Amino acid sequence: MKAAKVSVAQAEAYYYDRDAVYSQSESRYLGTGAAALGIEGQGIGEEFSLLIRGFSPEGEKLAQKKNLSDDKAVAGTDIPLTLPKSFSVLALADPELRAAALEAAKATVAAVEANGWIEGRQTVDGVTERVQGKMVAAVFPHSTSRENDAHFHVHSVFMNMAQRPDGTWSTLENHSLLQHSKEIRQIFLSEFAASEAVQKYGLDLWVDRGGTVIPEAAGFTPEIIDLFSKRQSEIHNASALRERLQEKMPHLAPEKIETLIQLSTRSAKNKDMTEADLIKSHREQLATAGLPSLEQLRDNAIAMKAEQSAEKLTTAEIVKQAAEDLSEHQSVFSRAELLQAALKQSVGHAAPGDVEKAILESAAKSNLVSYGNDKFTTPEIHRIEGQVASVAVEQREAFSPLLSDREVKLAVEAFQEKKGFTLTRGQAEAVGYVLQAPWPDRRDPGGRRRGQILINGSGCGRHQGHRRRARGSSSRVYVAR
């Protein structure tokens, strides 16, 4: 299930569908925009049809968009927040997990607005720009896939409207939402894994192809996961359809092809299925496959909690480790980058709010060096870069120029291409400062120019003589002596 725009017709037909486990009354409006309209925290009612068309609950036109009555008009952006398959199955036997999923979704949606990922449009003097806005969102919990497997998920729907800073309204600019959809999913999984309902279970963590850390309940074998992943298997095995689409529409990106496959292979949910029917179906499938029962799976996962290490990292230790990992590739990182790195290491240990608090505390205690504007580095990297800068300044006037502006630019570009990352502006300027410094026209007995700076992998060449390395620096600088 991927983030996507939804039309008015889709929103009205799908989110109101009856669910086997959750009741419609558990859906809620969220956001400061919803608060401005007087509906925050309320259940979903008839006003939903007005909101997805750009009107207030009282019928006042808010979002300035055309074709408000068109059922094909964009109603909003849906970011599905899905439980790992093991916990979807366990939720059939453990109602606390169902409640934890919904609460984690609410906290995640709140974090989206707190992070500034809700934007509207504003036009001033003919120039349209994005501005941070207040959101009107809704959460709709569902429990099954279209193949009627346990598939607990919450649709977080961000209405196609945003209240601008001046109090007026515009349509939603969803670029940031889609851009940060992976981070949003990680926040949800971290919130869920930190809940009391999940903490009683042993966890097996794995990383998917997108880099998201997934918490599965301990003891769930691939055989069990596959048994209740028929919808996923259907999409994965639609190879013939995938080949036809790629042949007929070669201009489409792979993710667009996968979205079309999902739409084309959809079957209808059984709207008449009850919670008892769902549980009975899963009991029968497990028994037929010769696998443990729901209760056995639950008890085994709880027992494995005791077998796993009781040692837990503190949030301060998690932040420190995340900062050190980031500093291996970049000397300066943003608060958002640090938060995401720390969240991946904190799954099952701490909630996102605790991690954010630990980042602030680490900066206050100088365990992180703050450069302002939410930019940080580690004390070690700060010390190393200070030493490099001091050496560059001290040695600048002792030599004649080594490289021209163009040669410096080419050297930096070659270095970045080989290493696969980009120097910060400060790093690039430091390299240019050093390479364009005056150098002596003196050579040692071996014909080498004394004091030559060599950047590993930059195209400037390597020196086989003695080297002094600034250890721990993201770019390696060697000084031949």
Among residues of the chain, what percentage have pLDDT more than 90? 32
Fold of 315-377: Arc Repressor Mutant, subunit A (1.10.10)
333-334 sheet: strands from edge to edge: 333-334, 375-377, 369-372
CB atoms within 10 A of CB 309: 5
- By mean pLDDT, which of 103-107, 253-257, 367-371 is the weakest? 253-257
Q: What is the pLDDT of residue 82?
A: 94
Q: How far is CA 61 from CA 34, 120, 164, 171, 379, in A?
A: 15, 16, 15, 11, 53
Q: What is the pLDDT of residue 380?
A: 85
Q: Is there a contact between 202 and 217 (Cβ–Cβ < 8 Å)?
A: yes
Residue 111 pLDDT > 90, yes or no?
yes
DSSP run (H or E) holding 409: helix 405-419
Boundaries of every domain in the chain: 4-307, 315-377, 398-479
Residue 234 pLDDT > 80, yes or no?
no
Residue-wise pLDDT for 428-446, tens only, equals: 887 777 777 665 544 444 4
Single-letter amino acid, residue 413: E
Output Rg (C-alpha) for the chain, integer angstroms. 28
Mean pLDDT for the stretch of residues 182-200? 94
Residue-wise pLDDT for 436-479, tens only, equals: 766 554 444 444 444 443 433 333 333 333 333 333 333 333 33
More confident residue, 265 or 226: 226
Confidence of residue 369 (pLDDT cuts 50, 70, 90): confident
Question: What is the rounded distance in angstroms from the CA atom of residue 313 to the CA atom of residue 386?
Answer: 31
* Verdict on whether the full-model pTM lies above 0.95: no
- By mean pLDDT, which of 207-211, 369-373, 443-447, 464-468 is the weakest? 464-468
- By mean pLDDT, which of 126-140, 196-210, 325-339 is the weakest? 325-339
Residue-wise pLDDT for 382-414, tens only, equals: 787 777 767 666 665 655 566 778 888 888 888
- Please provide residue 215's backbone torsions phi and psi, each rounded to the nearest 5 degrees: -95, 110
Residue 93 pLDDT > 90, yes or no?
yes
Half-sphere CA count of 415, side-chain side, radius 13 A: 24
Provide the b/e sequence for 59-75 (b: ≥16 CB within 10 Å).
Answer: eeebbebeeeeeeebbb
